[in-house]
Amino acid sequence: MPILNEILKYKSVAIVGMAKNTGKTVCLNYVLSRLRDSTKIIGVTSIGIDGENNDNVFNTHKPEIVFYEGMFIVTSELHYRDRRLGAEVYDLSNQKTSLGRLVYSKVVNQGKALISGPATTKGLLKSMDNLYRLGAEICIVDGALSRKSIASPAITNAMVLATGAAVSANINQLVYQTKYTYDLIKIEQLHSNNVEELKETEEGIWKIDRNNDISYLGIKSCLSINQSHYKSICEAESIFINGALTDKFLKFLINQKGIIEKQIIVRDFTKIFAKAETFYNYLKLGGNIKVLDKTNLIAITVNPTSPSGYVLNSTELISALKEKIDLPIYDIKKL
């Protein structure tokens, strides 16, 4: 699997599912089983909880996470006690979760464990830093449902995206939704002298004028945008949104004369919360979106089986995705 060679190039890689039951854990297990033979020391952490053997939503079996000798893992005190592997504790952190403090351990004998990490991106960064301090050379980050924020370039260097029949049992719709996520990830990065200055802002919507100077528009978020802000937006060359770019805001731009062409800047693709139809319509009408930080998507994996048991044709699905997406795409179970 060429993706393993790609993963070894990075210090951190997030494995993120587009939805629950898209095969993220299967992908993680495959990656860990192959990386155990590398010369790199692997650390594994999570945002949220993963590794349970049953899906509480669909009441279906889920693959548990298997860890190998020499790997570092991070999990809560509760789940560390329930582990089914031999491990040596290296650190007991002051970082607390709802399931207790975080335990940093090194696997001595291969086995299975639940991993539950910090619930915030700030906590996740701290967890990864601690893994590096203990000796990990590559951090694999496992994300919980809908937590795509761990794929932010501010968190990890690269990303593997898991998609599948759980997103839609209709191949055309599944390809459409996956292509939309891919298009968000592929948004071009802003190259400007004020990128660092924009990164230092903490909240609100800002404008960039013709002289590349930035100033606060007095708008706290896209949720509070209204017609009274039309003039100030018109005067801007670009608009920086320090927060979520919403469907409502894109529709506002689409419906206003003279401002559809304004360049919109967001921190990264995880900040875009617009419907696919709105996003594509905005671009079709001349809209322009840039990101401060670009995510490096290195592969997509597919799970052709839905939680209800419906199975798509894996070969047909991969072929349809490859017609739209220029990336390595794999069905892990067929490797």
Q: Which of 327 and 56 is assigned the larger pLDDT?
A: 327
Residue of 273, 211, 270, 271 lying closest to 240 (CA atoms) = 271
**What residue type is assigned to position 133 of the chain?**
R
Residue 256 is predicted with a pLDDT of 81
Residue 148 is predicted with a pLDDT of 65
Q: Which two tokens stand for residue 69?
A: 């000798």
Tell me what the pLDDT averaged over the chain comes to: 90
Taking 3-state DSSP, the helix, strand and coil percentages for the chain, each rounded to the nearest 5, stand at 30, 30, 35
Poorest-pLDDT segment among 61-65, 134-138, 265-269: 61-65
The model's confidence at residue 321, banded by pLDDT at 50, 70 and 90, is: very high
CATH topology of domain 2-186+295-334: Rossmann fold (3.40.50)
For 24-75, the pLDDT digits (tens) are 999 999 999 999 999 999 999 998 765 455 554 444 555 789 999 999 999 9
For 156-204, the pLDDT digits (tens) are 999 999 999 999 999 999 999 999 999 999 999 999 999 999 999 989 9
The model's confidence at residue 330, banded by pLDDT at 50, 70 and 90, is: very high
User: What is the pTM (predicted TM-score) of this model?
Assistant: 0.91
Residue 62 is predicted with a pLDDT of 57
Indicate the domain borders of the chain.
2-186+295-334, 195-291
| 3 state DSSP class of 179 | helix
Helices 314-324, 171-185: crossing angle, 10 deg rounding: 40
User: Residue 189 has what DSSP assignment?
Assistant: B
Residue 275 is predicted with a pLDDT of 96
